A and B are shown apart, each in its own frame.
Chain A
């Protein structure tokens, strides 16, 4: 299976659709996944699970040295963090990242600096990407992947990704203090933070004149039929949790019953549950939406008066990371790519282009003033302690899924 061909299939589809609707379509994609990678990506884990019972396949971790014997010395994760002499990277690199989620020149600059040909494949939603990365248990031939932080612990536990070669990533010291030791990956041993965001409320300032401050606005009957909730189990339950002053990572059935009751109350007022917050806002189908901060930045062109707030009750903070799959064919180039993206100027260029804030303290001086001063993407430091990161719930996720499906049915 050649994933680069799959990837270009997605790109073609996306390009066509984009030409059609003339704007970025955000994460509308499971559908595209069905049209393109779906059948393969969707079936692969099942087949792998069934085959795994019959044949003892070599573990992903043992496969690494065999595919890249030359990195034996350099690949020790416990190598000293001091910059080691940079080994020669492999000639190619396969990157798998979200669509529209990197600076426009980053790839070309990396290729020029390290003489590496980068094959850049985009994915439209996290589930599709994870299904593909897990399809062979070791990354489907990709060298660098961008999972959301909440998914990192499971990828580590299942040995789908390998520890980073920190000796090749001296720019890790550029990370801000609060990113040096994140809960999902202490010490950033397996992943490096890439970008972060908050989930709050956005609204069309032309249609709603009030300054909204509370999640309650998403329950306001005055906006009936013009409200969007993100089609995301954890994010939606988190909103209810903040309103009820409960823990968004709760595992208590009683708490969840209260949360889902509140969401039931809201459902008749909603236009849709959808992750395409950009599409719904820019087409004026809704006037208020549960939205990701970085997406709001991408609405300005069509909704010039769009407003965003991190509600006073609190909000979710999320982050994306960069990891190296355990089967990466080009691990040196992969670690160098991660280091390159943590460079102060490169990181700032990425932020300046996509409008998401990075965790890079050294990059701040190179970030455009309009982004730094935009509280949507760079919230006031005082707000940061109101933010909660969603954690992996393991088997308790069922309690959410069951209620979510019953809510939507």
Chain B
């Protein structure tokens, strides 16, 4: 809509200077308006459903609560944050961090070859293969997690096979352990790793790899010195898309975990439900978010320096 005014020939001198001013002013406004229209839905959405709730959580985290658990915002202060740094909760935060890190590493280690294979050898089935990667999303994550419980539990599918074939005599304890939590999380987050990895591998110009081979690089050398560095943005994206949701994950550690696998998200959940202390829960949630954000920014800065120095 702005194109007609911007491409209109501008009178040079002597004509109607007022009109010129007004025209270019109008075209600039139109261009601005166009940009505003484009960005408005996103800004509105993020404001209404991200920034405002975040601000509410922050305000609540500064508040207190009365005996019945109602939020009281009379005396805002940092008391919840002071209380949240109790050393007793550190093991739960450590668990969250450990599960998220292992899940991220496993997702990339498993996802990279899959993405590479789809990109290089998928041929005309690429789209179909990508749909297959996303197929699990068609079923509720909760149901898929329950399915893991049925597979892993003591009288479950896996133990049935192991005992049926005589490989074990007693059921292995798989469910409610570190192993089941990491397995469930890796399973859940793998597609989030594969998709960005695929995009960056698929965009890689294959001629560069061929050039490396022409210059006597071994297959491994070409991968390490050409493919991997050039697909690093995909690896970073995959790591972020896996790590950030993984560190706050509540569903998987709660369903597949046990008495020894409590995560930070579970602590927050107790405070919001039976603990009836939303301000304290909000403060813990905020700390978890800031730690995640800070860690992510540090990692990004470090990686950028490594890659582009």
Contacts and interface: CB of A to CB of B under 8 A. Distances in A.
Interface of A: 13, 16-17, 20-21, 28, 30-32, 34-35, 42-43, 45-47, 49-50, 53, 127, 154, 157-158, 225, 229, 232-234, 267-268, 270-273, 283-285, 394-395, 397-398, 401, 404-406, 408-409
Contacts of A268: 260
B20 to A, nearest CB: 49
B136 interface: no
B151 to A, nearest CB: 11
B155 A401 contact: no
> Chain A contact residues: over half helix, strand or loop, or mixed?
helix
A251 to B, nearest CB: 12
A204 B257 CA distance: 22
Given A31-B254, A49-B71, A270-B259, A127 B270 contact: no
A21 B146 contact: yes
Interface in B79-106: 86, 88-92
Contact of B142 (A32, A49, A267, A270): A32
A265 to B, nearest CB: 13
B142 A273 contact: no
B133 to A, nearest CB: 22
Contacts of B270: 233, 401, 404-405, 408
A141 B171 CA distance: 49
B155 A283 contact: yes
A267 B260 contact: yes
Contacts of A50: 56, 59, 73
A405 B56 contact: no
B146 to A, nearest CB: 6
B92 A271 contact: no
Given A397-B275, A409-B89, A46 B60 contact: yes
A49 B70 contact: yes
A387 B249 CA distance: 38
Contacts of B260: 267-268, 270
A285 B259 contact: no
Contact of A53 (B73, B88, B92): B73
A42, A267, A270, A395 — which one has the most chain B CB atoms within 10 A of its CB?
A395
Contacts, number: 129
B251 A406 contact: no
Given A20-B146, A284-B154, A47 B251 contact: no
A1 to B, nearest CB: 16
B277 A406 contact: no
A408 B275 contact: no
A233 B67 contact: no
Interface residues of B, number: 55
Contact of A35 (B92, B140, B153, B273): B140
Interface of B: 53, 56-57, 59-60, 66-71, 73, 86, 88-92, 140-143, 146-147, 149-150, 153-156, 171, 173, 175-176, 250-251, 254-255, 257-260, 262, 266-267, 269-278
Contacts of A46: 56-57, 60, 71, 278
Contacts of B56: 46-47, 50
| The 7 nearest A-B residue pairs measured at CB | A406-B88, A394-B67, A409-B92, A401-B275, A270-B259, A127-B273, A395-B67
A394 B271 contact: no
B142 A35 contact: yes
A17 B143 contact: yes
Residue of A34, A158, A229 with most chain B CB atoms under a 10 A cut-off:
A34
Given A53-B73, A272-B258, A408-B262, A225 B173 contact: yes
Nearest to A25: B146
Contact of A284 (B141, B155, B269): B155
Contacts of A394: 67-68
A283 B154 contact: yes
Contact of B150 (A21, A270, A405): A21
Contacts of B274: 127, 232-234, 401
A406 B93 CA distance: 12
Nearest to B70: A49
Given A46-B71, A225-B173, A405 B278 contact: no
B264 to A, nearest CB: 8
Contacts of B86: 406
Given A30-B273, A47-B56, A406 B67 contact: no
A242 B169 CA distance: 38
Contacts of B73: 49-50, 53
Nearest to B95: A409
Nearest to A392: B68
Given A34-B250, A284-B153, A284-B154, 9 more contacts: A31-B142, A45-B71, A49-B73, A158-B70, A225-B173, A270-B259, A271-B173, A271-B176, A283-B155
A267 B259 contact: yes
Contacts of A157: 68
13 contacts: A46-B56, A46-B57, A157-B68, A158-B68, A270-B259, A271-B258, A283-B149, A283-B154, A283-B156, A285-B155, A401-B271, A405-B89, A409-B90
B88 A398 contact: no
A128 B67 CA distance: 20
Nearest to A153: B68
